Structure 1
């Protein structure tokens, strides 16, 4: 009861100050929750970026080691070995392409031969030269 009487007898500036105080405390409380959320989000993002940065640094370190080794070998006068994997792969690809081309050409020739009329076909006859009436002079 005392509190209600006191609030009724406040002057206008005191009521405004009380309302401002209430507004300020609620804003600070909600801002604190927002800051906690932002901090959690920033921590997650930082961890995510840190792990990606670590992966990138590791990859760059490996590349730098390989390049340093190659530079050292070049300065020492050592020649690089042949890339056998690439050479074998290129040979296999070439063989596959040659097989595909020959299969396609055989199929095209067979198709063309089937499509020719009988009058355009050329027949080859084996001639037994020993029993033939026509003598072929080989000398």
Structure 2
């Protein structure tokens, strides 16, 4: 009676949250292990006097650390219920490209209309005439 498992009675979102939290903890742990291993490799390479390998290893450590930090921050925000922000730079860039393409299309259309007005045989020479039926024709209307 008192020995029931409380974890078995949890809802699905709570179970998912627990799994995400465990995954986040393992990600932090593995990122720390990766950074430690890379730092050891960097120190060992520096002792051998190979500056080139040390620079490459430190760049890898930095990129691994940055990626792990970015993912951990995103996971932490998701667990807290915060949604990721909008990519404003991409949105503004797409709007700018759209405006430039619209301006270019408008300019091309205006130039084409101007060229058509300069050519002979355009619609300016057409004369419209109103026709009426002959006076002796009988037209029946229903």
TM-score, scaled relative to structure 2: 0.49
- Structure 2 residue aligned with 1:84: 88
Matching residue of 2:121: 117
Between the aligned partners of 2:108 and 2:116, the Cα distance in structure 1 is 12
Give, in whole Å, the separation in 1 of the partners of 2:51 and 2:77: 39
* Counterpart pick for 1:103 among 102, 107, 123: 107
> In structure 2, what is the Cα distance between the partners aligned to 1:116 and 1:71?
69
Alignment of 1:55-94 (within 5 A): 55-94=59-98
Distance in structure 1 (CA, Å) of the matches to 2:61 and 2:107: 50
Instruction: Give the 3 Å change call, closer, same or farther, for CA 49–100 of structure 1 in structure 2.
Output: same
Structure 1 residue 76 displacement after superposition: 1.5
Aligned-partner Cα distance in 2 for 1:89–1:116? 43
- Structure 2 stretches of 5 or more lacking a match? 1-47, 127-142
Structure 2 counterpart of 1:50: 54
Deviation at 1:73, TM superposition (A): 0.7
Structure 1 unaligned runs (5+)?
1-42, 124-139
Report the aligned-residue RMSD: 2.3
Q: C-alpha deviations, 1:58-101, integer Å up to 9, x for none?
A: 02211210111001111221111111221111111111110011
Alpha-carbon distance in 1 for matches of 2:75, 2:111: 53
Cα distance, 1:122 vs. partner? 5.6
Aligned equivalents of 1:81 and 1:122: distance in 2? 60
Instruction: Describe the SS at the equivalent of 1:121.
Output: helix
- TM-score normalised by length of structure 1: 0.50
